[in-house]
Amino acid sequence: MDGKKKVRGEEQRSRGAEGSGAISSAPPPLRPSAVPRSLPGQLRLTLEMIKFSHTLFALPFALLSAVLAAEGIPRLSVLFKILAAMVGARSAAMAHNRLADREIDASNPRTASRALPAGTLSVAFVRVFFAASIVVFLAAAASLNRLTFLLSPVALALLLVYAYTKRFTAASHLVLGLCLALAPIGAWIAVRGSIDLLPILLGLAVLVWTAGFDILYSLQDEEHDRRTDLKSIPSVLGTRAALVLSTVLHVAMVPLLVAVWKLSGGGVLFAVGIAATAAALLYQHAIVKPGDLSRINTAFFTANGIVSLTLAAFGIADVLMRP
C-alpha cells in the first residue's frame, strides 16, 4: 500500500509541475521520425540551427560598403564573391559555435531543443558542414584580390575564437561585434583592394550596434549564465546596468554613421536612413525594460532588421542618385 501511495504521489506532483508550466532542463525524448534521414533534410535543419536567416543583419552593411567603395554598383562577379565569402564565413562561425556550445546549450532550457543537444543532428554532419563552409569562405576570399586572400585566415581565426570568449570574459559581446564589423570592411577591400578610414568607421558602427543588441538578447540567459559561470554583461553587472550599457553603445552608433555620411559625401537620402536607424534603436530600448523581457524577440529581430535594411537601402539609393 505504501508503495502504491508513493507512486500516486509522484504522479500527482508530476502533473502539478506540468500544469504550473515548470520547465525541465532536459530536452524531450525524440521520436525516430523527427530525425531527418535525407541529406536535404539534414542540411535544412543545419541552416535552421545556425540561424541562416540572420545573415541579413550584416549583409546589408557589406553591400552598402561595396557600393560606397565602387561609388556605384560593383561588378556582379565581385558582388557574388562577397556574398559567397559572407555566407561561408558566417556559416562556419555559427556551426563551430554550436559544436563548441552543445553541452552548454543542453543545460539551458531555452537552447536545449537545438539540433545538436536534442540529437536531431549528428556532430559528424555538422563538422562536415563546418569544413565545407570554411572552404567556401577561403575560396571566395582568394578569388577576390591579394589583400582579401591574405586577411582571410585572420578573419576566420577571429570568428572561431569568438565561440570560447563567453567562458572567460564579459567582453564577448564586443568580440561578436568585431566579427560582424568585418563584413563592411571586407566588402570595401573586396572592391578596392585596399583599406580606408570610411569602412573602418562603418565597421565600428556595426561593432557597437551588434554588441548593444547582443547584450539585450543575453538578458534571457542571465540566471543560467550566472549559475554556470558563463560571462556576459547581464550575468556580471545585472539587468539594469546591462540595459544602460546597451543604450550607450547604440547611442554611439549614430555619430559614427554621421561620420560615414560626411566622409562619403552623403546626401538627403542617406541622412534619412540614419534618422530611421536612430528611431529603430530608440524603439527597441523603449520596449525592453527591467522585469519585462516579453518583447525581446521583437527588439532583436524586427528592430535590428529595420536598422540594417533601412540604412543600406537609403545609403545605396543615395549613392545611385548622385549625378
pLDDT tens digits along 211-246: 999 999 888 888 888 988 889 999 999 999 999 999
41 has pLDDT over 60:
yes
Task: State if pTM tops 0.85.
Answer: no
> Ranked by mean pLDDT, which of 7-21, 191-205, 295-309 comes out on top?
191-205
Residues 70-88 pLDDT 10s: 999 999 999 999 999 999 9
Share of the chain above pLDDT 70, in %: 86
Residues 150-187 pLDDT 10s: 999 999 999 999 999 999 999 999 999 999 999 999 99
Alpha helices per DSSP H over the chain: 2-19, 39-49, 55-70, 76-100, 102-107, 115-118, 123-144, 146-165, 172-192, 197-218, 222-227, 233-237, 239-263, 268-287, 296-297, 304-320
Confidence category of residue 311, pLDDT binned at 50, 70, 90: very high
140 has pLDDT over 80:
yes
Give the residue from 10, 88, 81, 96 showing the smallest Cα distance to 49.
Answer: 96
Tell me how many degrees the CA angle 41-96-43 measures, rounded to the nearest 5: 10
Round the average pLDDT of the chain to a whole number and report it.
85
Residues 244-265 pLDDT 10s: 999 999 999 999 999 999 999 9
Give the pLDDT mean for 280-296.
81
Q: For residue 121, give the amino acid letter.
A: L
Domains and CATH numbers, the chain: 41-320 (1.10.357.140)
33 has pLDDT over 50:
no
